[in-house]
Amino acid sequence: MADAIGIAGTGLTVHRKWLDAISDNIANINTATSTNGPAFQARYVQAQAGAGNSGVYVSGTQLGSAQGRMVYEPDNPLADQGGYVKYPDINLSDQMSSLIMAQRGYQANAAVVDRAKTMYEAGLQIGK
């Protein structure tokens, strides 16, 4: 039972970091930059299974493209002489889909921790 709590705990950590990356990407989806600088780069969390029964861990993060997409906004103070600014190349639909998957994964791991705790408490009651 302790293994279940530990493994689910690693899953909670990975899904929390995934949620953090997604929320950062969504928060910066409308961040404009000048055309001579890099656009905001989306973060993508990479997870990897641990050895044996050690659960899962974040093995790193991958950054999205810094090229971004050019948008014509001549009134923007960051616009170049042609009137263009650079926005991140982040697809909101993809981010929302990932957000739902990360939330569901977090909820599933939290449910495992709760059920394992209940089983552990029931085992202690049997021993009384």
What percentage of the chain exceeds 70 in pLDDT? 98
What percentage of the chain exceeds 90 in pLDDT? 80
In contact, 58 and 47? CB cutoff 8 Å: yes
* Separation CA 126–CA 118 (nearest Å): 13
pLDDT in tens, 47-100: 999 888 788 999 999 999 999 999 999 999 999 999 999 999 999 999 999 999
Q: What is the reported pLDDT for 50?
A: 86
Q: What is the pTM of this model?
A: 0.86
Q: What is the reported pLDDT for 123?
A: 85
Q: In this structure, how many other beta carbons lie within 10 angstroms of the beta carbon of residue 37?
A: 10
The full set of domain ranges for the chain reads 2-126
